[in-house]
Amino acid sequence: MTLESTPDSVVSAQSTAPGSEWWRTAVIYQVYPRSFADSTGDGVGDLVGITHRLPALAELGVDAVWLSPFFRSPQKDAGYDVSDYCDVDPLFGTLDDFDTLIETAHSLGLRVIADMVPNHTSDQHEWFQAALASPEGSPERDRYMFREGTGPNGYLPPNNWESVFGGSMWERVTNADGTPGQWFLHIFDKSQPDLNWENPWVREQFRGILRFWLDRGVDGFRVDVAHGMIKQAGLPDYTPPAEGASMGGTGSVDASEFTPLEPGIQDPTAPPEPPYWGQEGVHEIWREWHQVLAEYPGDRVLCAEAWVDPLEKVALWVRPDEMSQAFNFAYMFTDWKAPALRRVIDESLEAFGGVGAPATWVLSNHDVIRHASRLALGADAPPQGAGIGPGSTVKPDRALGLRRARAATSIMLALPGSAYLYQGEELGLPEDIELPDAARQDPTWFRTGGEKYGRDGCRVPIPWEADAPAYGFNATGASWLPQPSDWDGYARDAQEGIVGSTLELYRSALRSRRELNLGGGSVLWLNGYGSSVVAFRNGELTVIANLGPVPVELPVGRVVLASEQIVGGVLPTDTTVWIAPN
């Protein structure tokens, strides 16, 4: 088959949108500070460590770095429990270290995105401590979600909501005189009380916090649990469909939730939206935040962590006067099947493009099973947040997972819009499924009494050098989560310059993506390759991914990128190729 004889499909998705903001086409690399690089040797990564390793990211070819939280925190949820939003946790360094980091990043041409955690604070935050010390009905209590209990003497929680991490979403406080008091809401751990975003005081504080970091030069924010900040009035009871509290960053979303019916037809069996996710009131907050960012020169980005469904609803969050981007979790959880992928790509381009926002693409982050393992599990993958470990009934096949991950990334990086990478995926890192129970730290593990492994398996410090202590994560060999003994082959220095290594695949994909302006392009579907193939053109480039068992004959052209070795002009299974005209 030649390029010329390939019949173009009637379906052609539009390019992302007009506009020149850098984030519309950017590849954004997520750094999880605990596990990236540790300069002090205490086993936990830090800002100085990140700064030292920034040249490796510039050289990888990404545009921006998103830093998971490094703010002052008791670290009950790995920093997503903030006790001071305007300071760096001593575990990670100082504000001066942050200033050096951002200056270094900018000098290397990398933007820096901070992770804002507005849905909840730590219970150690001075606001929450003041709320506990203040009487019922006080302004201090009104900053959080305090309510009376139900049942005799209020001994039952105000409603039946279940925490994303397991157990009730409510915790009862004890009054100063020792009597049981009110209950407070916590969507996540009880050490993470939810703020009351109906309270203008809370909103004012956060506008100030945004400005604090914008003044220090950040290029934008990833907004944690953006979908949870407003709760339905009256806090009505909610019974989730089957599997836990659903749809938190760590809740349970399975791919079937994103398998749409015919366009425009509502699924009559779909459960109602939980009364704590994706409520209308959030839009007003995004408009306020948009205004704050607009006070600053340059293009600053707001990216929503929004576990809402369907994509048309997510798109409402990125209307021109709200956020800039939202993570595309529908894409992340699409099964490794060509028809499903084609559909979600179309739906994404249509939904985001419909409001003038760039589509985003993501395959891994610090809350999900790494895609080099997840894609080998298929329908056996456990619900999100549950994780996999030594006692799991399913074990991912490493070779199959990596092969699919490389093919999946090669599709993703050819798509128009903005893509997110998670540290270590450029090394092909699998999920660590053998972590000993005693080493686990995710609150999910504790709140479910060990029933769910949680997310530690994707958070293990990454390997830089095959033969160094802690694989070059630090100089001492200490590591807050133990690293597997067989990760030397994944180390960056073991892959550097090695033809066919995952690192070189990412480098070359990112280089070609930039050269060919794929982020600013469009998708034109190509038919004629069969139902197990994803094939499209983006500009001059032809992208073909074979997800089926039968080898696919390739068109004539110059191979720009191949996720596996191509022999004899045919594309083997679980392989993606990029082809340019000769």
* 80 touches ligand GLC (CB under 6 A): yes
Work out how close the CB of 169 gets to ligand GLC at its nearest, in angstroms, rounded to a whole number.
13
Contact (Cβ atoms closer than 8 angstroms) between residue 356 and residue 350: no
* 89 touches ligand GLC (CB under 6 A): no
Work out how close the CB of 77 gets to ligand GLC at its nearest, in angstroms, rounded to a whole number.
5
Could you give the CA distance from residue 474 to residue 49 in angstroms, rounded to a whole number? 8
Q: Build a one-symbol-per-residue string for 273-312: x at contacts with ligand GLC by CB under 6 A, - elsewhere.
A: --------------------------------x-------
Work out how close the CB of 235 gets to ligand GLC at its nearest, in angstroms, rounded to a whole number.
19
> Which of residues 249 and 417 has its CB atom nearest to ligand GLC in the complex?
249
Q: Build a one-symbol-per-residue string for 305-324: x at contacts with ligand GLC by CB under 6 A, - elsewhere.
A: x-------------------
Work out how close the CB of 231 gets to ligand GLC at its nearest, in angstroms, rounded to a whole number.
15
> Which of residues 157 and 249 has its CB atom nearest to ligand GLC in the complex?
249
In sequence order, the β-bridge partners of residue 112 are 65
Within residues 96-125, the interface with ligand GLC by CB under 6 A covers 117
Size of the site for ligand GLC (CB under 6 A): 12
Looking at 2-68, which runs of residues are DSSP E strands?
8-13, 27-31, 64-67
Contact (Cβ atoms closer than 8 angstroms) between residue 380 and residue 350: no
Work out how close the CB of 94 gets to ligand GLC at its nearest, in angstroms, rounded to a whole number.
24
Is 224 marked active-site?
Answer: yes
> Which of residues 458 and 579 has its CB atom nearest to ligand GLC in the complex?
458
Q: How many CB atoms lie within 10 A of CB 255?
A: 18
Return the residue nearest ligand GLC (CB atom).
Answer: 249
Q: Choose, by CB under 6 A, the member of 13, 88, 169, 225 that binds ligand GLC.
A: 225
Of the candidates 267, 295, 380, 540, the residue annotated as catalytic is: 295
Work out how close the CB of 464 gets to ligand GLC at its nearest, in angstroms, rounded to a whole number.
24
Could you give the CA distance from residue 105 to residue 112 in angstroms, rounded to a whole number? 7
Could you give the CA distance from residue 209 to residue 194 in angstroms, rounded to a whole number? 17
Instruction: Give me the DSSP letters along 308-373.
Output: -SSHHHHHGGGSTTS-SEE--HHHHT--S-HHHHHHHHHHHHHHHHHTT---EEES--TTS--HHH
Looking at 417-540, which runs of residues are DSSP E strands?
418-422, 523-526, 533-538
Work out how close the CB of 384 gets to ligand GLC at its nearest, in angstroms, rounded to a whole number.
10
Q: Choose, by CB under 6 A, the member of 194, 224, 347, 432 that binds ligand GLC.
A: 224
Per-residue burial over 554-569, b if 16 or more Cβ lie within 10 Å, else e, is bbebeebbbbbeeeee
Could you give the CA distance from residue 245 to residue 371 in angstroms, rounded to a whole number? 23
Could you give the CA distance from residue 85 to residue 66 in angstroms, rounded to a whole number? 16
* 32 touches ligand GLC (CB under 6 A): no
Could you give the CA distance from residue 137 to residue 148 in angstroms, rounded to a whole number? 11
Q: Choose, by CB under 6 A, the member of 38, 63, 171, 367 that binds ligand GLC.
A: 367
**Alpha helix ranges (H) inside 394-501:** 398-412, 443-447, 492-495
Work out how close the CB of 78 gets to ligand GLC at its nearest, in angstroms, rounded to a whole number.
7
In sequence order, the β-bridge partners of residue 580 are 558
> Which of residues 186 and 513 has its CB atom nearest to ligand GLC in the complex?
186
Q: How many CB atoms lie within 10 A of CB 81?
A: 26
Report which of 28, 55, 47, 35 is spatially closest to residue 472, judged by C-alpha positions. Answer: 35
> Which of residues 195 and 534 has its CB atom nearest to ligand GLC in the complex?
195
> Which of residues 250 and 522 has its CB atom nearest to ligand GLC in the complex?
250
> Which of residues 80 and 128 has its CB atom nearest to ligand GLC in the complex?
80
Q: Build a one-symbol-per-residue string for 231-260: x at contacts with ligand GLC by CB under 6 A, - elsewhere.
A: -----------------xxx----------
Q: What are phi and psi of 5, to 5 degrees?
A: -85, 0
Owner of token pair 């392009």: 521
Q: Choose, by CB under 6 A, the member of 29, 98, 184, 188 that binds ligand GLC.
A: 188
Is 59 marked active-site?
Answer: no
* 415 touches ligand GLC (CB under 6 A): no
Of the candidates 77, 89, 189, 224, the residue annotated as catalytic is: 224
Distances (CA, A) of 251 to 66, 99, 119, 240, 268: 22, 35, 15, 11, 22
Residues designated catalytic: 224, 295
Site residues, ligand GLC (CB under 6 A)? 77, 80, 117, 188, 224-225, 248-250, 305, 366-367
